[in-house]
Amino acid sequence: MRLTTSKYTIILSLQTLLLITDWCINISLLLTRGSNAALLTLFIIQDVCLLLALTILLLTFFSTYIFQTGLVYLLYERFRITLLVCMAYFVLTTVVNIWLLVVRWNSLKHAWSTSFLIIFIIQRFFSSIYYYYYKRAALRISDPRFHDDIEWDQNKMHQVRPETQ
């Protein structure tokens, strides 16, 4: 299946919406001090958005000509860091979310420990790295080389499977 401009525009818009949702939840975290239920709801939405963003990114990988011809390692070589960053950011975000909820529900005051503050700062710093790599991957996957049967792909296929010559 070829990735058309209108289809790619819809996918890219959805990916951007998911990134903006995550960004807004990260910002609004400090505004929800009064309600644990609102905070839990925001965290669930954030985790679902992160999983959806990764799923959509993987689906765009699966729709490429390179993936369909079995040259998955080429995609993996080009997008390995992005996939690792996405998974690490999801884990960091989930840890921060759970830890924050436990702290808020188990204590009357909202004092953060030093270890939680360090993890929180790492997660916030890592979010900018995640946004950069995710957006870059979403834009790079639109390259026609990934969706068309072009010569360099044929050369790579013959290097991998010489018996088909």
pLDDT by residue (tens digit) across 31-75? 776 678 888 889 999 999 999 999 999 988 888 887 888 878 888
pLDDT of residue 85 exceeding 70? yes
**First-to-final CA distance of the chain:** 25
Question: Across all residues in the chain, what is the average pLDDT?
Answer: 83
Q: What is the Cα–Cα distance from 30 to 144, expressed in whole angstroms?
A: 42
User: Which range is least confidently modeled, 18-27, 69-78, 79-88?
Assistant: 69-78
pLDDT by residue (tens digit) across 133-154? 999 999 888 776 776 666 544 5
Specify whether the CB–CB gap between 23 and 131 falls below 8 A: yes
Q: What pLDDT, on a 0 to 100 scale, did the predictor assign at position 120?
A: 92
Mean pLDDT, to the nearest integer, of 65-87?
A: 87
Could you give the count of Cα atoms lying within 13 Å of 96 in the half-sphere of its Cβ?
25
The better pLDDT of the pair 23, 74 is held by: 23
Q: What pLDDT, on a 0 to 100 scale, did the predictor assign at position 75?
A: 83
Give the distance from CA 112 to its chain's centroid. 27
User: Which range is least confidently modeled, 18-22, 106-110, 159-163?
Assistant: 159-163
* Residue 41 to residues 5, 32, 47, 48, 119, Cα–Cα distance (Å): 35, 11, 10, 11, 21
